[in-house]
């Protein structure tokens, strides 16, 4: 045992294991799409849509992941013949709000859209639900925003007869009861996103008339329009925005050759803008590939502004998309950018998160087999684009193939640390603690292991600072070992 532990120590020292993960979300005979992701603390919540390739039935699922990004719980929200579209996911005050739409399968491409909102706790128990906005149309957008007392949903419908966009804003209380609604008096207006700030609702979008100018519009708590700013028509489509420290950051897709509208192919680049809350532009930067760079979102982490989206490698046929990330400082000076051109498994980013370890966590999906086989994925990278694309773990219906995942936090620690482990079955186990010489210094017997995530608080005192090893052995024969660092 002494030499085995010494070998393990030297192996970790000389060849440290990458912390970056790349997980696939798969089900047999199904295409899968990871469409929304949010985190709170060290817990991550992922929404996925699965389409059975044999029965064509749709399944909507939400996953709860632990600090090691392993699934500890999942819930099937819907499983039927309807076409399902996930719209938005937000977490506020330890509550989850999920917005999705269902469409009648027999009437495509003209369908009856029904929008649904679920409220869940962090254990994925459904607390409230509502259905609204039943509308026959060609397409529908919807996004959520929340403040202390109200939930807002805003978007637009593409109308059947005219192919124009009809905007809407709906206000609900926290129990999901409808309080108010408004149809903004702007013909052919497409709303892309919204935020609540200082009891007012700010929406961004594009007026699909004339030069198709984009806008920022602010509504009060009664959904009355307070003010609006019409942006230069180079802001083709404002995709996302955030408000941080009394500043507004927005990412848009713009035409780099605006006089080529008659062409079947469009030339897009990204545009990131920084504004004050009077919507005056402070700084802006054009970035990207100058052919087909479509940005999906924007986020801020410390003093970094991060945009993410998709890059069309073959823009003339629009059949091969790869994800990209661009990082700016607060003055919108580009610091780093990486496009995953050579990796067919990174085709479309749908959401971006930041971990407690200071890394980037991205969710999305990729298509293979000539775009007929889609798989959802979650992967982690640092701010230099480093990750391990070969470290792949297939996700089954409930848990990873690994029977037990063992970790501790904090690490390094002083006197107290939490040991967590993930098990596929109920079991009984023992934890052994060894020093770097292989000498056993402590054991914890008869631990009741339940299926799912387990946690145990370990308190150690009166030992020298250094590297220690802990080993979990289950009665079923499963064994897992990891190391921890104790600092006085």
Does residue 4 lie within any of the structural domains?
A: no
Does residue 279 lie within any of the structural domains?
A: yes
> Which of 20-29, 30-39, 324-333 reaches the highest mean pLDDT?
324-333
Does residue 119 lie within any of the structural domains?
A: yes
Does residue 13 lie within any of the structural domains?
A: no
104 by Cβ neighbours in 10 Å (0-12 / 13-18 / 19+) ranks as middle
Give the pLDDT score at 61.
Answer: 92
308 & 179 share domain: yes
Asked if pLDDT for residue 114 goes beyond 80, the answer is yes
Which residue did the predictor score with more confidence, 84 or 275? 275
Helix (H, G, I), strand (E, B) or coil at 361: strand
Q: Tell me, what DSSP letter sits at residue 107?
A: G
Give the pLDDT score at 212.
Answer: 77
In terms of Cα–Cα distance, which of 306, 181, 312, 158 is closest to 244? 306
Q: What's the CA gap between 324 and 308, in Å, rounded?
A: 6
463 by Cβ neighbours in 10 Å (0-12 / 13-18 / 19+) ranks as middle
Given a contact cutoff of 8 angstroms between Cβ atoms, the answer to whether 63 and 50 are in contact is: no
359 & 456 share domain: no
Band (pLDDT 50/70/90 cuts) for residue 321 is low
368 & 443 share domain: no
Number of domains in the chain: 2
What mean pLDDT comes out for the span 311-315?
55
395, 419, 452: which is the final residue of a domain? 395
Q: Which residues pair with 434 in a beta bridge?
A: 440, 469
Q: What's the CA gap between 145 and 132, in Å, rounded?
A: 16
Q: Report the DSSP pairing between strands 392-395 and 22-25.
A: parallel
141 & 63 share domain: yes
157 & 223 share domain: yes
Helix (H) or strand (E) holding 14, with range, is helix 2-14
Record the pTM.
0.73
Does residue 16 lie within any of the structural domains?
A: no
Give the pLDDT score at 126.
Answer: 95
93 & 178 share domain: yes
Give the pLDDT score at 2.
Answer: 46
Contacts of residue 296, Cβ cutoff 8 Å, sequence gap at least 6: 239, 240, 308, 309, 310, 349, 350
Q: What's the CA gap between 212 and 200, in Å, rounded?
A: 25
Given a contact cutoff of 8 angstroms between Cβ atoms, the answer to whether 102 and 111 are in contact is: no
52 & 139 share domain: yes
Q: pLDDT tens, 398-409? A: 333 333 467 777
Q: What is the CATH number of the domain that holds 407?
A: 2.60.40.1930
Q: What's the CA gap between 366 and 353, in Å, rounded?
A: 18
294 & 364 share domain: yes
313 & 462 share domain: no
Q: Rounded mean pLDDT of the chain?
A: 78
Q: Which residues pair with 352 in a beta bridge?
A: 362
Does residue 10 lie within any of the structural domains?
A: no
> Which of 166-170, 338-342, 418-422 reaches the highest mean pLDDT?
166-170
Q: pLDDT tens, 127-157? A: 999 998 777 766 678 899 999 889 999 988 8
55 & 103 share domain: yes
Q: What's the CA gap between 298 and 279, in Å, rounded?
A: 17
Asked if pLDDT for residue 254 goes beyond 50, the answer is yes
Q: pLDDT tens, 194-239? A: 999 999 999 999 888 777 788 999 999 999 999 999 887 666 678 8
Give the pLDDT score at 266.
Answer: 53
Does residue 11 lie within any of the structural domains?
A: no
Give the pLDDT score at 180.
Answer: 92
Asked if pLDDT for residue 6 goes beyond 50, the answer is no
- Judged by average pLDDT, the poorest of 37-41, 116-120, 363-367 is 363-367
Contacts of residue 342, Cβ cutoff 8 Å, sequence gap at least 6: none
Measure CA of the first residue to CA of the last residue in the chain; give whole Å.
26
342, 368, 395: which is the final residue of a domain? 395
Q: pLDDT tens, 47-104? A: 988 887 777 788 899 999 887 777 888 899 988 888 888 889 999 999 999 999 888 7
Q: What is the CATH number of the domain that holds 236?
A: 2.130.10.10
321 & 417 share domain: no
Which residues constitute the domain of residue 115?
Answer: 22-395
363, 379, 395: which is the final residue of a domain? 395
Give the pLDDT score at 292.
Answer: 52
Does residue 12 lie within any of the structural domains?
A: no
248 & 299 share domain: yes
Asked if pLDDT for residue 42 goes beyond 50, the answer is yes
């Amino acid at each position: 045992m002494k030499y085995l532990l010494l070998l393990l120590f030297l192996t970790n020292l000389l060849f440290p294991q990458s912390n970056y993960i790349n997980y696939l979300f798969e089900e047999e005979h199904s295409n899968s799409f990871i469409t929304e992701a949010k985190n709170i603390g060290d817990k991550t919540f992922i929404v996925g849509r699965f389409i059975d390739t044999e029965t064509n039935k749709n399944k909507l699922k939400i996953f709860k992941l632990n600090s090691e990004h392993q699934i500890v719980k999942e819930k099937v929200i819907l499983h039927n013949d309807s076409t399902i579209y996930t719209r938005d996911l937000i977490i506020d005050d330890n509550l989850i709000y999920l917005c999705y739409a269902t469409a009648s399968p027999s009437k495509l491409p003209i369908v009856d859209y029904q929008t649904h909102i679920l409220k869940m706790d962090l254990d994925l128990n459904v607390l409230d639900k509502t259905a609204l906005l039943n509308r026959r149309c060609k397409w529908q957008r919807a996004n959520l925003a929340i403040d202390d007392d109200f939930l807002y949903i805003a978007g637009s419908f593409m109308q059947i007869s005219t192919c124009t966009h009809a905007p809407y804003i709906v206000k609900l209380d926290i129990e999901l009861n409808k309080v108010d609604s408004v149809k903004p008096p702007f013909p052919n207006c497409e709303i892309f996103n919204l935020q609540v700030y200082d009891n007012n609702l700010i929406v961004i979008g594009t007026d699909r008339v004339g030069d198709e100018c984009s806008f920022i519009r602010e509504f009060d708590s009664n959904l009355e329009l307070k003010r609006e700013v019409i942006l230069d028509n180079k802001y083709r489509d404002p995709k996302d925005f955030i408000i941080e420290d009394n500043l507004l950051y927005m990412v848009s897709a713009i035409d780099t050759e605006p006089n080529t509208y008659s062409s079947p192919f469009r030339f897009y680049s990204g545009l990131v803008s920084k504004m004050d809350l009077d919507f005056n532009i402070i700084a802006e930067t054009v970035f990207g590939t100058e052919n087909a760079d479509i940005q999906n979102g924007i986020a801020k982490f410390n003093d970094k502004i991060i945009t993410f989206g998709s890059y069309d490698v073959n823009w003339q046929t629009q059949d091969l998309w790869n994800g990209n990330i661009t990082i700016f400082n607060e003055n919108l000076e580009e610091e780093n950018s990486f496009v995953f051109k050579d990796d067919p498994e990174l085709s479309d980013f749908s959401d971006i998160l930041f971990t407690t370890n200071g890394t980037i966590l991205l969710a999305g999906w990729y298509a293979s087999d000539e775009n007929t086989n889609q798989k959802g994925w979650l992967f982690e990278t640092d701010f230099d684009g480093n990750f391990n694309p070969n470290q792949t773990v297939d996700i089954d219906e409930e848990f990873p193939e690994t029977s037990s995942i063992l970790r501790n936090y904090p690490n390094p620690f002083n006197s107290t640390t939490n040991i967590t482990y993930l098990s596929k079955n109920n079991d009984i186990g023992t934890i052994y603690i060894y020093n770097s010489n292989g000498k056993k210094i402590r054991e914890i017997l008869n631990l009741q292991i339940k299926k799912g995530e387990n946690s145990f608080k370990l308190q150690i005192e009166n030992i020298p600072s250094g590297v220690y090893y802990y080993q979990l052995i289950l009665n079923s024969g499963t064994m897992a070992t990891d190391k921890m660092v104790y600092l006085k």
